[in-house]
Amino acid sequence: MLKVKVAVLVSGGGTNLQALIDNQSKDSSYKIELVISNNPNAYALTRAKKNNIKTIVVKKEKLEADIEKAIDENKIDLIVLAGFMSILSKKFTKKYKDRIINIHPSLIPAFCGKGFYGLHVHEAVLERGVKITGATVHYVNEIPDGGKIIYQKAVKVKTNDTPETLQKRVMEQAEWKILPKALEKISKEILCKEEHK
Ligand code: GRF
């Protein structure tokens, strides 16, 4: 079966990567071929190795050039940003237009863009007194968190939430569900387009 070749870009724990690995089966439309990290100590790299997925660590100085090289050499069709803590340039996002997706831990366009990453997002949500938050999977363009939305899922904020408890619930109830779902959907669309070429 023909599958979409996927590279997952990570910087941290890799729980979203794990959700993608766990969702991958012989019937999936995608196959994770490569995990790329800008952090040599990211636990996500261990998760990849445990599942026999090739890993590459890229250095800050030549970050995009090295990512591009790895993507092109491994004939990757689709790039997934799963907790990747670096903003990609216009040149890069243009080259891979409609071929990069990202998971963000809020309901975009709320609490997104520059400075809204990790716990900061959930801190801002609690500070504002927002009652419903969630997660979004979207295409990546040159504007941080600015590309077209693919999936969103809402999560209720509880009165006794801390940034940490909220982050955990958003991950469990939203991120780990919509990211694999979006990857499968986009992969199917890519395969379909290839078939009709
Ligand atoms: C997630 O909250 C994701 O939405 C954000 O970074 C975090 C990564 O977590 N972009 P993990 O490395 O997948 O556990």
| 107-128 mean pLDDT | 97
- Give the catalytic positions in this structure: 104
Verify whether ligand 1 is closer than 6 Å to residue 13 (CB atom): yes
Span 2-22, average pLDDT? 98
Let me know the angle formed at the C-alpha of 163 by 114 and 13, rounded to the nearest 5 degrees.
75
pLDDT, one tens digit per residue, over 68-91 is 999 999 999 999 999 999 999 999
Gap between the Cα atoms of 33 and 50, Å rounded: 13
Q: What is the pLDDT of residue 170?
A: 98
Q: In the prediction, which pLDDT does 1 show? A: 80
C-beta of 104 in contact with ligand 1 (< 6 A): yes
What is the average pLDDT score of the chain?
A: 97
Statement: residue 194 has pLDDT above 90:
no
Instruction: Say what the pTM is.
Output: 0.97
Quick one: pLDDT at residue 58?
97
DSSP secondary structure letter of residue 13: -
- Name the closest-CA residue to atom 14, ligand 1: 15
- Assess whether the C-beta atom of 11 lies below 6 angstroms from ligand 1: no
Alpha-carbon span 41 to 123, nearest angstrom: 25
